[in-house]
Structure 1
Amino acid sequence: MSQPAAGLSLRRQLLLWLLLPQLVLWLMGGVLAFRVALSYAEKTIDQSLTQSVRALSRQVKPLGSGLLVDFPRAAQDILEQDPTDRVFYMVSSPPGSFLLGNSKFPRPPFTIYSPENEPVLYDLVMDGKPMRVAAVELGFGDGLTPQRMQVQVAKSLAVQQRFARELVRDVLFPLLLMGAVLSFLVYAGVRRGLAPLHKLESQLADRTTASLSPIEMTQAPQEVHSLANALNQLLTTLRRSLSQEKRFLNDAAHQLRTPLAGLISQTELAMQETQPQALKQRLEKVHTGAQRSAHLVNQLLSLARTEAEVSLHPINAAALAREVAREWTPRAVAAGVDLGYEGEDTMMVPGDKLLLREALNNLIDNALRYSGRNTAVTLRTHTEGNTCLLEVEDNGPGLSANDLSRVFERFWRASEMPGGCGLGLAIVAEIAQRHRGTASAYAVMPHGLRISLSLPKTP
């Protein structure tokens, strides 16, 4: 199965999402700054043109029915001194009839008239160059012969654009330097911030199935600590699972060695027998050994299943106990044991139905196996406060005080009766632990044994 393609590293994603918006904002800032600079440059040019057209209009003074032009050469040189930023002007009277300035000055594209003699600003193209123009139209003459005069002053927009570029350069260059320094700091911060993850990766790489010790993160951000804690929980679960698997394999190998050796020995002796009766006896021993081995394997598998993590759900333990008692009744009758049930109609506990059934099966199986014929076994359910009790009690020979303390040990047997393997009650104790409960053994007077499974009640 092919591995999914790896995406961008976390470092690249962080740098991308941190630096890309910065670049976009820098470009937007540059465009905005250029537009603002153009606007300020246009206002500056408009103000200069307005002052120039008013000053020029004051140099042309009405004299009777004519005009007196008081425009000294020095003033003209001031207007035309910068060849790269020349100021073009024209005075015409009547409007459009050249009087002074540049005779090729285009006429305004619209009628200029302002009752308050305020200059009008507009754009035009002169000799293929964009220009900004301020124009004003003034009246002069007496009441009998009124006349009008038009004054136009133009300035190239190249100066405006140059001014805007210089302003943008002066503003954006420091911002670019600051952006470069900020990018370096962001890169260093991301690298330093991701250092605990690299440390975590190296520690995980050093872990093997033989060494699953917890990860130590003494100095790391809270998020990395949370990740390390989650990984430590996973390592703990994995370590417990491997330990359980190893213990299961060791137990299976140890416990199966003897019955398998006995089976091999009996089959070898059976192959040497010539008498049918002796051969039948050998085969009966082989059959008994095979049954014991099968029982041992089933118990080992049950033990391994109980050691796994379980999901608990509310179940009616009393109904389950009655059902298990009914299932074991035929075998109890065959064994000469009086099996009965006493207890609640409903008793809700958080549990796993399959595992609780396994625990009750083991308790009843042990009681029927070791209590003997003509005895009574009682499956009982009742509650004590917030605790639910599942108990199996018999009036058989019971156990001594020393044996009661070892009854839940693995592979420990108080009796040498054939058929058992010393795992039934160990499975019961493991199931109780998985259900956040306990298993206990008590002596019954005058004789007998009671195994009690204590579980919390469903809230």
Structure 2
Amino acid sequence: MSQAKVKQKSLFGQIMLWMLIPLMFLWPLSLLISYPIGRSIADTPFDQSLKNNVSNLAQQMRSSYTEHALSTWGLSIPVFDSQDQMYYQIVSSNGETILGTTKMPQPPAADAIVMNQPQVYSATLYNEPVRVAYVWLDLGNQSVIGSHFQSNSVVLIQVAETLNKRKALAREILQGVTLPQLTFLPIAVLLIWFGLSRGIMPLNRLQDSILERDTHDLSDVPSTDAPEELQPLVRSFNGILHRLRRHIALQKRFLTDTAHQIKTPLAGLRMQAELALQTDDPVEQRNSLTHIAAASERTARLVNQLIALSRTEHLAEERLELAHVDIVAIARDQTIFAADRALQKGLHIELDVPDAVILVNAHAIMLGELMKNLIDNAIFYTHTSVTVRITSDATHAHFYVLDDGPGIAPEEREQVFEPFYSVLGEKASTGSGLGLAIVQQIADMHDATIDIAYNSELTEGERHGCVFHVCMPRVASNLCE
């Protein structure tokens, strides 16, 4: 059952979407905020007008000393215009209405009355919201005031107005804000689209440059024109290309080396097989079969070492996962595995290791492969015995393999670690020349060093013997041991 094709998302579309969603959310939010701001702006002049009306009434009361003047108070206050209704009231401190509307609301309760200072509050009058200005006024000992208010000369003056003009002005303010926004919003979207299109042009050019490359072109992608945000992506991509080139080179080298090295033993196998077919002599046929068996064994060993070399080269390119391992235990296991091969050749193999655990930071399988190749190399070239030894100091662990073979001359000790290099001698034609190359690769992976020297423990003068010494750091937890 085939999986449904996943719809690819456009980066341009995603950026546009996440830029427009906040814009579409903030625009109506700005309208909601603008309306109360407009109301507040509209209230300011109208509130001041109400305060002026209250102040005018207060001034009339202070300057009026006759009954006739009392009856004309408030005539200067317009009670109705084309939009709003206005109300006024004058009451004594004990609640007696002297003039105006009797159903006016009461000012907000306060801890102390502030005299002669106009103030404003919101209320409801005749089921309609109004804005009210008021002032507490002390009229003193005026005779006409005393006849109406007896001994208390404090009065409350209020002027109320409905809110129609205020609402109309607030709407005009809101429209003045909204209409330009409605005009500029599409322009802003177009500018965002244009700017975003220009902004992602380097990404499009980078994409085109990659698509136009030849399928065999694995060179690095130029990063000079890439924006700063794309530099990490380009560097990562170039890193992948570098590893790919390296892996392809390793594969080509592996195939070339394999073809070159296997060609000779295969030719020998074919020649021995033809000799066996052309003769009826059982002895010669047996000799040919013996050579075929030996050549087959060498070819199998060569192929196995080629595969091991290829694997270590690839692992060297990757980040190897290291862990704390006991180098003594690994050396003991590899010596036991090699004992069979040594006994088959009539050789003596000895293990000289301490009883303590010596921890190193290593890949157990790769470290075992290093030891196996060094021990096999010693078994291959030694005459009588091989010694595997482990020692340690405060900071490093030391792995030695000693043999009593012909040894390696100082001028050849660097070259023996190159692939397919064999020391000239009686067994040069039978070795693969890969074991020490594998050892060097694994040592480099573990920050270890390898030294070669003559075996100074031998007493026989005709053979120098050989000592391979691998030195690698110990784990820090062992420093106190």
Aligned counterpart, 2:432: 421
- CA pair 257-48 structure 1, distance change in 2 beyond 3 A: same
Give the match for residue 218 of structure 1. Answer: 224
Match among 307, 321, 328 for residue 331 of structure 2: 321
Which residue in the other structure is 2:71 paired with? 68
Gaps of 5+ in 2: 477-481
Q: Measured at CA, do residues 107 and 320 of structure 1 come closer, stay the same or move farther in structure 2, by a change above 3 Å?
A: same
Provide the secondary structure at the position in 2 that maps to 1:34.
helix
Corresponding position of 1:340: 350
Q: 1:454 aligns with which of 470, 474, 480?
A: 470
Of 233, 243, 261, the residue aligned with 2:239 is 233
SS at match of 1:248: helix
Q: What is the match of residue 299 of structure 1?
A: 305
Distance 1:31 1:194 in 2: 35
- For residue 70 of structure 1, report the CA deviation from its aligned partner: 7.1
| Aligned-pair CA distance for 1:69 | 3.0
Report the AA paired with residue 452 of structure 1: F
From 445, 469, 477, the equivalent of 1:434 is: 445
Equivalent pair of 1:53/1:119 in contact (CA under 8 Å): no
* 1:141, distance to aligned residue in structure 2 (A): 7.1
In structure 2, relative to structure 1, the CA distance for the partners of 1:388 and 1:233 (3 Å cut) is farther
Q: 2:387 aligns with which of 370, 378, 381?
A: 378
TM (norm. structure 2) is 0.71
1:71 and 1:396 map into 2 onto residues whose CA distance is 131
SS in 2 for 1:378: strand
Count of aligned pairs between the two proteins: 447
Give the stretch that moved more between structures: 185-194 or 400-409.
185-194
Distance 1:281 1:390 in 2: 41
Q: 2:42 aligned with 1:32, yes or no? A: no
| Aligned-partner Cα distance in 1 for 2:120–2:445 | 93
Partner of 1:42: 43
Q: Distance in 2 between matches of 1:282 and 1:12?
A: 75
Q: Relative to 1, partners in 2 of residues 1:86 and 1:457: Cα closer, same or farther, differing over 3 Å?
A: closer
Indicate the RMSD between aligned Cα atoms, in angstroms.
Answer: 4.9
Q: CA deviation at 1:442?
A: 3.5
TM superposition shift of 1:259 = 3.2
Q: 2-side partners of 1:411 and 1:254: how far apart?
A: 10
Q: State which of 330, 355, 358 in structure 1 corresponds to 2:369.
A: 358
Within-5 A mapping of 1:58-207: 63-64=66-67, 68-69=71-72, 83=82, 85-89=83-87, 107-108=103-104, 123-124=123-124, 132=131, 143=147, 155-170=161-176, 194=200, 197-202=203-208, 204-205=210-211
Choose 54-63 or 419-428, whichever is displaced more. 54-63
Q: Which amino acid aligns with 1:304?
A: S
Q: Report the CA distance shift for 1:119/1:435 in structure 2 as closer, same or farther (over 3 A).
A: closer
Counterparts of 2:4 and 2:231, CA distance in 1: 29
Spell out the pairing of 1:248-263 with structure 2 (5 A cutoff): 248-263=254-269
- Residue equivalent to 2:479: none
The alpha-carbon deviation at position 240 of structure 1 amounts to 1.6
Q: What is the SS of the residue equivalent to 1:398?
A: coil
- Give the structure 2 partner of residue 397 of structure 1: 406
Work out whether residues 317 and 347 of structure 1, in 8 Å CA contact, stay in contact via their aligned partners in 2.
Answer: yes
| Helix, strand or coil at the partner of 1:393 | strand
**CA distance, structure 1, for counterparts of residue 231 and residue 200 of structure 2:** 13
Q: 1:380 aligns to what SS in structure 2?
A: strand
TM-superposition CA deviations, 1:129-179 (whole Å, max 9, x none): 865566899998764898xx9998664423212211333344566777888
Contact 1:343 1:382 survives alignment (8 Å): yes
Verify the 8 A CA contact 1:343 1:380 in the aligned structure 2: yes
Give secondary structure in 2 for the equivalent of 1:436.
coil
> Cα gap change, 1:349/1:194 in structure 2, threshold over 3 Å: closer, same or farther?
farther
| 3-state SS of 1:397 partner | coil
Q: Given that residues 272 and 288 in structure 2 are in contact (C-alpha distance below 8 angstroms), is that contact kept between their aligned partners in structure 1?
A: yes
User: Structure 1: which amino acid aligns with 2:362?
Assistant: G
In structure 2, the residue corresponding to 1:407 is in which secondary structure? helix
| Unmatched segments (≥5 aa) in structure 1 | none
CA distance in 1, matches of 2:246, 2:4: 29
Quote how far apart the aligned CAs of 1:18 are.
5.0
> Identity over aligned residues, as a percent?
31
Contact 2:84 2:165 in 1 (8 A): no
Q: Structure 1 387/230 Cα, relative in aligned 2: closer, same or farther at 3 Å?
A: farther
Residues 182-224 of structure 1, C-alpha deviation per residue, up to 9 Å, x if partnerless? 7777666655665554455445545667433233323656553
Distance 1:172 1:394 in 2: 95
Change (3 A) 1:454 1:111: closer
Distance in 2 of aligned mates of 1:402 and 1:169: 95
Partner SS for 2:245: helix
TM-score by length of 1: 0.74
Letter in 1 for 2:381: Y
Query: How big is the shift at 1:35?
Result: 0.6
Q: 1:410·1:426 contact (CA, 8 Å) conserved in 2?
A: yes
- Separation in 2 of the partners of 1:368 and 1:151? 121
Shift of 1:64: 4.1
Shift of 1:399: 4.2
Assess if the C-alpha contact under 8 Å between 2:382 and 2:405 holds in 1: yes
Tell me the distance in 2 between the aligned counterparts of 1:426 and 1:305: 12
Deviation string, structure 1 residues 421-442 (Cα, Å, up to 9, x no partner)? 2212221222222222344443
1:313 deviation in Å? 2.4
Alpha-carbon distance between aligned partners in 1 of 2:16 and 2:296, rounded to the nearest angstrom: 68
